[in-house]
Amino acid sequence: MRASRTALIYSPLFGNFSYGDDHPFKLQRNRLAYELMDAYGLLDLPGMVIRNCLPISEELLLSFHDPAYLSRLKEFSGSDEPRADFRFGLGDGDCPVFKGLYECAALGAGATFEAVRMVEEGFDAAFNLAGGWHHAHRARASGFSYINDAVLAINWLLACGRRVAYLDIDAHHGDGVQEAFYDTDQVLTISIHESGVYFFPGTGFEDETGEGSGTGYSVNVPLLAHTDDAIYMKAFDEVACPLIAAYKPDIIIAQIGADTFRSDPLSQLEITTHCYSDIIRKIMALKIPLVALGGGGYDLMNTARAWTLAWGIMNNVELNPRLPAAFVAKIAPQGYPHRILLDAAHWAEESERDLALAALEKSIDRLKKSVFPVIIGNHGNTTG
């Protein structure tokens, strides 16, 4: 049996950029995750490589983004002066303007393109910690996202004749990616997220199923607050897994944000590393080439733990559930209380989880009547 080949895409240059001291999106989480991976010995494994990246090319940017929008991004990026252009979503609290903004976003997209290129060339999995800016629209920044790296990468794969499944397990709906491929059957988009009834970006409902030839290829599973490990796994097992298996994509692009976790300051879901690691294992068990994108995660240590677990699973390495002593000694003076990598399964308070479970069961029933007949009917039967 051939050993797995994996690639970690990482650039220290992300440490040169900042959304601002008070902004929840902290690029230093990439370094924290990298250091934890290193402490576990995950950066020198047989069959893996670490790759740097270059900014995404103008040609690829124009496969999705509006030229006027890109021009304004570049203009604002070159100055320390506070600027705003709300037509393009630039300069508000979510999407601040800062020096080097364009370079930062283009580098993140370039890292995703490098990951996709390596998988296309034969690697089994590639992971871009700095990827997953799923809220960026064609001509508008949104939700901390300026350039939609997943869309650009998928466009390149489509030009290569590939069929793609995009799976999004971030707490927020992957609205920018859904929008880009809403009318095609060459991309199956699946997003499992906190409900847009009360949560950003206010989209991602079960009746958003695509249009034209894309009807049935947009799949959304909105979750209520207090969805816990078991409920989230039910959503993945009964919707995402069987649909991806039936669709039989050439490649999976997965946005594996860690903002679904219990202590994340921006969401009200109650996921732990227990559920998260199970999902990554099940994705890998599909034996379909995988590009993983970091996505959200605003509790920095939770994000570092989640991504380290994911990278270990991609390399078939079982990790000690206790954090390495040297890493604990490094983070303790910074105020981090964490000592454990893998959490026990968590159950939400009974009355809250009953509501969340009932809502999920209703969503699954609707999806089995709408999108399941399309995907399974057009691409063959599956089980699970």
Residues with active-site annotation: 135
Alpha helix positions (H), 121-240? 149-159, 175-180, 229-235
CB of 143 closer than 8 Å to CB of 200:
yes
CB of 200 closer than 8 Å to CB of 357:
no
Least Cα distance to 19 among 148, 146, 151 occurs for 146
Q: Determine the Cα angle at 74 with ends 176 and 109, to 5°.
A: 45
What are the tokens at 201?
């970006």
For residues 124 and 188, what is the distance between their CA atoms, to the nearest angstrom?
20
Paired strand residues for 145: 142
User: Cα 235 from chain centroid?
Assistant: 17
For residues 272 and 184, what is the distance between their CA atoms, to the nearest angstrom?
34
CB of 318 closer than 8 Å to CB of 274:
no
Looking at residue 227, its amino acid is: T
CB-count exposure of residue 373 (10 Å: 0-12, 13-18, 19+): exposed
Phi, psi of 251 (to 5 degrees): -155, 145
Straight-line distance from the first to the last Cα atom of the chain, in angstroms, rounded to the nearest whole number: 26
What strand order describes the sheet that includes 6-9? Answer: 48-51, 6-9, 125-128, 290-293, 251-255, 164-168, 187-194, 218-223
For residues 274 and 356, what is the distance between their CA atoms, to the nearest angstrom?
19
3-state secondary structure of 76: helix
